[in-house]
Structure 1
Amino acid sequence: MACAIVCGESSPSHITLFRCLNRTLDSIKDNIAHIFANILGCQANTDANARNFRGEDLLPFTFEHFIKQWGEDNHLSAQDWLSEKKNAGNDQDPHAVFNVLDQMLKDSLERLRTMRESISVAKIGFLGCTPKANYSEHMDIVRGLSVDGKLGSAFWLRRKMIKKGIIPDVSTHNYLLNGLCKAGDLEMANWLIREMLEMGPSPNCATYNTFIKGYCLLDNVDKALYVFSTMGNNGIRPNIITCNILVHALCKKGLVENAKKLLEEILDDDDDDDKTDSGIITLTTLMDGYFKNGNMIQALSLWVDIQRNTEVDVVAYNVLIHGFCLSRQMNFAYGYLCEMTKRGLLPDVFTYNTLISVLCKEGKFEEACNIYGIMPRMGITPDEVSYKIIIQGLCISGDVVTAHEFLLSMLEKLMVPEPLVWNSIIDCHGRYGDLSNAVFVKDQMSAFGVQPNAYTYNALIHAQVKGGNIIDALSLEKEMLLSGLSPDVVTYNLLIGGACNLGHIEFAIELYHKMLRIGLDPDIFTYTELIRGNCKIGNIKEAEKVLVRIQASSLPIDHVPFQILFKKYCKMREPDRACDIYQKWLARRNMSCSL
């Protein structure tokens, strides 16, 4: 029977076996076709443009198409394989047909393995080309998301890249780190740097500078200095930018001498090309620190060094002028203003704002307004800070009319001031009893899209209380609640004071209990107003109970509550009780002094 099969003779049993063999091979063909169709189909969906695969080319894919691509030498058929055995004799093993089938299956699987390996190599090459372009775009997206503060999405995309075996470069990690530091999430930033040290890419100096600046923004200079000390351990050399960040943070805390030592340490080791330009930034920061500490000699010594070693810029002159303004030496400030102009350095808006600020603090508003008038002629447009300084100064001095004129000037120049400016004018109108203008400014504030805050309403309530309009003041409290604002302790102190001034002590006590119900803690001003109100209507015993309550609390207490009771007893011609109150005040004062 074996001989008959090998020689190609036909018999019913032989034909049945031969058909079974062909069906087996057809099944193998179908499985191979299905496997390769899936492989190539998925790859084409991943990036069809990379290898010019088209969907219509893949749909009719069959095993014969695949065989045709790989060449006729790889084609397998039962007849061709068996034809190699035509010379076999009739003395073969009767089970040779099964050995033939087994060998055919082995050869088919071996060819399948070889072809799949070849396809895998092609697939790797196919995928290896596209990610380089795509991952570059992905890193740009991560950077953009980090700048926009969308850190969750940025880290999600970073994880996806790492899972595909691509680690973003150090610049991309620095963007992520900067976003975390701006958000104040220094714990996550610390984790990111540790992961960079373990997995890569290695942190560079910019990485550590960003991390140090993050701690400085949170006013945690100790942590910033610790990070600075670890840079050398990780093979990173600090540069002048590192120095600038730390010197600024140390000077801000008044540690100018420490900043100077750090400056000397880093500048001695720094050999960057931009050392001179960066050095003037650090020296200027240090000079500003000495000025703020009142150390004029050291500050001027640094000024001499700056002039000798570097080219002085506008910022250095601004620091110098600001230093003389702090010490109220306006003659020197004006002198250096002229000197910088002679050297071809035009003063900027910061220069003029410095002069306007110190003049307003000294009450020289006419001179401040003159400086403001000079700015446009020098080509400098006053900014919001310029207006804010002048308006606040004028409101403090009580010149609300001029302050309102400056506000209108801002609005004409399409500058919408912050709530503090509006509130200053509202408060000034209220202090002088001009309720109509105070309300008008508040309405104008809302019309320009600036939402009134608690201070706005407190200023209006104060104006209403001062005018004796307690009902209108209470309506403002309700308006606050409707606007989504929560009244604070100042709000209720004003209302309680207004009720006490009108002799409505019961209503004042009701407001006091309302404070407690909503979770506000009364302060010394609250109790002082209650003492004043009780004394005004003659409830002297209730006033003394309030005083005892203050003394039993941990609130700091001044002389005012004692003074109110002392004066009341004096008016009642009760010197003994007045003397007793005086003795209590002395005991309280001595206790405070001993602490």
Structure 2
Amino acid sequence: MGKIPPAFRPALSNPNLINPSSMLPSPSNSNSKPRDFPKKNAPHFPGKSRKPQQEPPQSKPTLFKSPSLQDAKTLFNSIINNTSNAADIKFHNSILQSYTSISTTINDSIAFFRHMVKTHPSFAPDRSTYNILLAHSCKSPCSTLSPIHQTLNLMVADGVTPDKVTTDIAIRALCSAGRIDHAVDLIKELSQKHCTPDTYTFNFIVKHLCKCRVLSSVNSFIDEMRKNFGIKPDLVTYTILIDNVCNTKNLREASRLVTVLHKEGFKPDCFLYNTIMKGYCMLSRGSEAIEVYNTMKEEGVEPDLVTYNTLIFGLSKSGRVQEAKKLLRVMVEKGYSPDEITYTSLMNGMCRKGDAMGALALLKEMDEKGCSPNSCTYNTLLHGLCKARLLEKAMKLYTGMKSDGLKLETASYATLVRALCRESRIADAYEVFDYAVETKSLTDVSAYTTLESTLKWVNKAKEQGLAI
């Protein structure tokens, strides 16, 4: 994938095609790493990255064949009698982790743990040992926190106090199991009885709350944690909240949160500005996105590739293609090389404006600059060419997509099938249908429904003597 289909090269070589390459000066930094346009659930937030908390060691699936407690005890006795690592805490933790991975109840896991301690007195459990049991108790299907309390009580009774790592392991396990209400209850309980969570754990649960609760409920949780335990939201917290409200198109709330953020003494960073611009661009509000961009520069925050791709996407989507091209020049002058996201956004905007041939010329430019088109690029062009009734060029592009095994998106599939049926190329339409089903581009039902409704539409138009 990434090369222009051979059958398509003659069309691109036509001197009558618009070649917009002149609008792009040679990039001054060809080593810029491409980054994706910010998605709804952005996986990265500002701040230093950190290694995961002290997770329990990975299980050894071949160690225990059965969840039977008696079999596990017998196997443990055999292992201890035939190993030279009997005093190694990591060795014991690995065995415990292996058993908990298949144990059906926390009671069996605790019983096995007690057997390990009793059978081999030199085994001195540490906090990480209890964290293994805690992680298992969090995965219990129990509708209460009883198994977790059982493990925590065992931990405290043995003189080991839960710490921030303990809290992090429990909260992440509960959220991963979809038990967000239990996670909220537990984080409050641990904050009151033992220790408050660190910012990473706090922001982790806030992010999960944003996915399944209304904003007022999330704000109530944050306010309660601040008031009762002194945990204040940081820049990452506000970024999570702003990203969430932008995804729900609540830009008024996003603006309010930015004001609160400033009052709290935080300065928005590039990622946060990009998040807000994304919100405006998704609503085709390019002017507001440009205002955020200007504010960003006034505040001394340097735009990055995502910034420019976001704005080019937004301007192109709202029909302001010429402004998007101007911004592209600025982007290149700043040392950022346009990537497949940049080009696809521009193609989309040009196709919306009816300039499918100009969008097609960008495909050649991408190839010349060593930028590989992706599936979205081809689908955008295919849809645009069909809408412009350039069916032969669309079919050449489709042939290239087939050779690369690229999937058809719903919109481009429907548009191509309709264009073919309109030209009475029913056999070709069925071939496109077969390819869509074969590549699982659409479900069988969806692909067939689209084809069937299109054929009915064509037949009805012909019966009524309408030009199609």
TM bracket, shorter-chain basis? 0.5 to 0.7
> SS at the partner of 1:572?
helix
Give, as a single letter, the amino acid of the residue that structure 1 aligns with 2:372.
S
Contact 1:464 1:472 in 2 (8 A): yes
Residues 259 and 445 (structure 1 numbering): CA distance in 2 closer, same or farther, change over 3 Å? farther
Contact 1:317 1:340 in 2 (8 A): no
CA distance in 2, matches of 1:317, 1:364: 23
1:460-471 mapped onto 2 (5 Å cutoff): 460-471=346-357
Q: CA deviation at 1:387?
A: 2.4
> SS at the partner of 1:496?
helix
Q: Structure 2 length normalisation: TM-score?
A: 0.62
Contact 1:243 1:282 in 2 (8 A): no
Indicate yes or no: 2:378 matched with 1:492. Answer: yes
Other-structure match for 2:463? 573
CA distance in 2, matches of 1:441, 1:243: 56
CA distance in 2, matches of 1:501, 1:437: 23
Residues 535 and 410 (structure 1 numbering): CA distance in 2 closer, same or farther, change over 3 Å? same
> SS at the partner of 1:381?
coil
1:295-306 mapped onto 2 (5 Å cutoff): 296=181, 298-306=182-190
Q: 2:421 aligns with which of 529, 532, 535?
A: 535
Identity level (%)? 21
Q: CA deviation at 1:431?
A: 1.6
Other-structure match for 1:351? 237
CA distance in 1, matches of 2:431, 2:274: 45
Indicate yes or no: 2:296 matched with 1:406. Answer: no
Other-structure match for 1:309? 193
CA distance in 1, matches of 2:418, 2:282: 28
Contact 2:340 2:374 in 1 (8 A): yes
Q: CA deviation at 1:501?
A: 2.3
1:28-67 mapped onto 2 (5 Å cutoff): none
Residues 302 and 536 (structure 1 numbering): CA distance in 2 closer, same or farther, change over 3 Å? same
Residues 224-248 of structure 1 show CA distances to partners (whole Å, capped at 9, x for unaligned) of xxxxx99x69976554346658967
CA distance in 2, matches of 1:293, 1:386: 29
Other-structure match for 1:521? 406
Residues 404 and 547 (structure 1 numbering): CA distance in 2 closer, same or farther, change over 3 Å? same
Q: CA deviation at 1:280?
A: 3.7
Contact 1:429 1:438 in 2 (8 A): yes
**Residues 338-347 or 447-456, more deviating:** 338-347
Other-structure match for 1:10? none
Other-structure match for 1:560? 450
Higher alpha-carbon Rg? 1
CA distance in 2, matches of 1:318, 1:551: 42
Residues 378 and 563 (structure 1 numbering): CA distance in 2 closer, same or farther, change over 3 Å? same
Other-structure match for 1:438? 324
Other-structure match for 1:391? 277
> SS at the partner of 2:242?
helix
Contact 1:400 1:425 in 2 (8 A): yes
Indicate yes or no: 2:275 matched with 1:275. Answer: no
Q: CA deviation at 1:554?
A: 5.5
**Structure 2 unaligned regions, length at least 5:** 1-50, 61-81, 103-111
Residues 255-294 of structure 1 show CA distances to partners (whole Å, capped at 9, x for unaligned) of 898998578547724756653454444454456557x545
Size of the aligned set, in residue pairs, is: 372
CA distance in 2, matches of 1:284, 1:497: 45
**Higher normalized contact order (CA 8 Å, seq sep 6+, divided by chain length):** 2
Contact 1:489 1:520 in 2 (8 A): no
CA distance in 2, matches of 1:571, 1:250: 64
Other-structure match for 1:113? none
**Residues 441-450 or 500-509, more deviating:** 441-450
CA distance in 2, matches of 1:359, 1:390: 9
Residues 31-67 of structure 1 show CA distances to partners (whole Å, capped at 9, x for unaligned) of xxxxxxxxxxxxxxxxxxxxxxxxxxxxxxxxxxxxx
Q: CA deviation at 1:314?
A: 6.5
Residues 483-537 of structure 1 show CA distances to partners (whole Å, capped at 9, x for unaligned) of 22222232222223322223222222222223344x3335365554432222344
1:341-380 mapped onto 2 (5 Å cutoff): 341-342=226-227, 344-380=230-266
Residues 456 and 243 (structure 1 numbering): CA distance in 2 closer, same or farther, change over 3 Å? farther
CA distance in 2, matches of 1:443, 1:254: 56
**Residues 422-431 or 405-414, more deviating:** 405-414
Other-structure match for 1:483? 369
**Residues 272-281 or 557-566, more deviating:** 272-281
Q: CA deviation at 1:430?
A: 1.2
Other-structure match for 2:73? none
Q: CA deviation at 1:408?
A: 3.5
Give, as a single letter, the amino acid of the residue that structure 2 aligns with 1:500.
C
Q: CA deviation at 1:203?
A: 5.7
Residues 500 and 355 (structure 1 numbering): CA distance in 2 closer, same or farther, change over 3 Å? closer
Q: CA deviation at 1:396?
A: 1.6
Residues 485 and 342 (structure 1 numbering): CA distance in 2 closer, same or farther, change over 3 Å? same
Q: CA deviation at 1:372?
A: 0.5
Larger fraction in helix = 1
Q: CA deviation at 1:479?
A: 1.8
**Residues 281-290 or 256-265, more deviating:** 256-265
Q: CA deviation at 1:478?
A: 1.6
Q: Structure 1 length normalisation: TM-score?
A: 0.50
